[in-house]
Amino acid sequence: MATITGSEVLAQALRSQGVDTLFYLMGGPMLETEAACISLGIRAVDTRHEQAAALAAHAWTRVTRRPGVAMGCSGPGTTNLLTGVANAFTDCAPLVAIGGSSPRVYLGMEAFQEIDQVAVMRPVTKWAERIYDARRIPDVVATAFRQATSGRPGPVYLDLPGDVLGEKVEEASLVYPAAWRPAPRTLGDPGAVREAIALLARAERPVIIAGSGVWWSDGAAALQALVEATGIPFYTTPISRGLVPEDHALAFLNARSKAFAEADVVLAVGTRFNWVIQFGRPPRFAADLKVIHVDVNPGQLGHNRPVDVPIAGDARAVLEQLRAEAEGRIDPRRHAAWTGKLRTLDAEKSAEMDKAMSADQTPIHPLRLCKELRDFLRRDAILVVDGQEILNYGRQAIPTFVPGHRLNSGTFGCMGVGLPFGVGAKVARPDAQVVVLHGDGSYGLNAMEIDTAVRHRIPVVVVISNNGGWTADAPWTRPLPKPGRTLGHTRYDRVAQELGAHGEFVEKPHDIRPALERACASGKPAVVNVITDSKARAQTVRFSAYTT
């Protein structure tokens, strides 16, 4: 009978789960698996660092709503995946991470690159397992995909010892389970749905807050239908922007703080009460706020703050239930005074921002850079934003109109995601305009991935707001300078050119748009290096117990 190796079984098991793309960095004992994947027609994008492989796979899964796959070799190769896996964990993204490991026969003997990789990964995954028998590979791989995608999504980890990958098994004895499918949608309790609509019907100043659970459940259309049926203004978490187009009549982005502070009822769907929305507590929200919380994970209901109406269920399914229940019970005109107040404030702040965004000063103000990029982007562009000051400016100034087309550092606040995210997003959506807006510090963390983009012909465009260091060089609370702030104005554009990418250097505001046009027209990966004002400090809500 014909035999195949564990490496070949693993490749076929991945293909059987519908995998057509993976991100990796080559190394033992995964080389034969990677070669087998390529021979099966799986697109394999090798990166310059395993962290970038995990981040690119994360972006790929966020754009496609399918599990992304990242692969690393044993020891440091797998531990280098860790930050990307942790980022996916806090972002609730169904990433499948695979690490080679020291042979099982040497476990505990201090073999080459031996470390308990499963123990390392368990705190940042939904599920982590080591495979000890090559015949179990198809079943365990299928279980990994099911674990990653069921309930609240999240990353999983598979550990493959070298001798398991080299083990020979009879090919005829193997059975490959069917490819993963989305789990059935769980409906919310009908009584709780009726109670929620009754509370919203009595509300004077209601607000809907939607998170990534709406995106993972493919619930964007259901969210928009509920918003329009009830006339309730909506907001999204930063990584969920575009669920409803941000030029919608009930989108008041510049009045977010006022809306949260004065709301009397909040319907939170598919989002956690974490630091992003200040745990749902005062002073961000009113002390007497009433809360309706919808989450697929029942354990999340009531976490960090009391919930008046908890609803466990799939975001899309519950939104559809709420929409049906609201029919004839909530008059969308009821909230005209509330939405009028938010609309007026939104327009006033928008006018103020437009003035700042039109400044012709040099060094260029980051808001002017945001304006030029905003006006350049297509409506359906995928925008990735990563950094400190530029992240906040971009959040304030650049809207998103399409679900799943806005990515950023996320709940984990992980700097360095920008370029790897851009690579993963462009691989997932090759016909989309994919632009990364980076700070110079965050770009440097994974800057060599521009080489990955060049080698694999992935024409992502990177725009760097280069203010010469970490954060703004603004007044600090201590008499000494900020330690380690200054980075200098590195010519990242020249580095990109040396690696085969297109490069642009911009110092004047009127040169930004032509540089963007040339970068996109080049058909290559591109870096547009824009010198911005080091003193410009973005205003944002204080999210933590420290400032930078």
* Residue range 109-139, pLDDT digits in tens: 788 788 999 999 999 999 999 999 999 999 9
Which residues are within 8 A (CB) of 410 and not within 5 positions of it... i.e. 6 or more apart?
Answer: 87, 90, 91, 238, 239, 417
* Mean pLDDT of the residues in the chain: 93
Q: Residue ranges per domain, the chain?
A: 3-173, 190-343, 358-531
Q: What is the pLDDT of residue 477?
A: 66
| Averaged pLDDT for residues 226-238 | 95
Ramachandran angles phi, psi of 59, nearest 5°: -65, -40
pLDDT above 80 (res 541): no
Highest mean pLDDT (candidates 27-31, 278-282, 317-321): 317-321
What CA–CA distance (Å, rounded) separates 106 from 294? Answer: 48
Strands 3-5 vs 168-170: parallel, antiparallel or unpaired = antiparallel
Quote the CA–CA distance of 321 and 220 in Å, as a whole number: 14
Q: What is the CATH number of domain 190-343?
A: 3.40.50.1220
Q: Are 250 and 339 in contact (CB under 8 A)?
A: yes
Asked whether residue 286 carries a pLDDT value surpassing 50, the answer given is yes
Bigger pLDDT: 356 or 258? 258
**Residue 43 is inside which H or E element, if any?**
strand 43-46
Q: Binning pLDDT at 50, 70 and 90, where does residue 476 land?
A: low
Contact 526, 506 (CB under 8 A): no
Q: Please, are residues 304 and 273 in contact by the beta-carbon 8 Å criterion?
A: yes
Tokens 């940042």 found at:
124
How is residue 311 annotated by DSSP? E
Mean pLDDT throughout 492-507?
A: 98
The average pLDDT across 501-519 equals 98
Structure-token match 């006022």, residue found: 258
CA 246 to CA 241: how far, in whole Å? 8
Weakest-pLDDT range from 186-195, 346-355, 433-442, 527-536:
346-355
Quote the pTM value.
0.95
Percent residues over pLDDT 70 in the chain: 97
Q: What is the reported pLDDT for 546? A: 38
How much of the chain exceeds pLDDT 90, in percent?
Answer: 82
Q: Quick check: 7 pLDDT over 70?
A: yes
pLDDT tens by residue, 403-430: 999 999 888 889 999 999 999 999 999 9
Is it the case that residue 398 has pLDDT exceeding 80?
A: yes
d(CA 98, CA 158): 5
Find out whether the peptide bond into 399 is cis, omega within 30 degrees of 0.
no
Q: What are phi and psi of 61, to 5 degrees?
A: -70, -35
* pLDDT category of residue 56 using cuts at 50, 70 and 90: very high
CB-CB neighbours of 264 under 10 Å = 16
Place of tokens 């749905």: 193
Question: Higher model confidence: residue 480 or residue 364?
Answer: 364
Residue-wise pLDDT tens digits, 149-185: 999 999 999 999 999 999 999 998 899 999 988 888 8
43 compared with 478, residue with greater pLDDT: 43
Among 382, 92, 381, smallest CA distance to 237 is for 92
Same CATH topology for 3-173 and 358-531: the answer is yes
Q: Which fold has domain 3-173?
A: Rossmann fold (3.40.50)
| CATH topology assigned to domain 358-531 | Rossmann fold (3.40.50)
- Kindly report, residue by residue over 326-369, the tens digit of the pLDDT: 998 998 888 999 999 999 999 999 888 888 888 889 999 999 99
3-state secondary structure 91-114: HCCCEEEEEEECCHHHCCCCCCCC
Q: Is the pLDDT of residue 547 over 80?
A: no
pLDDT at 29 over 90: yes
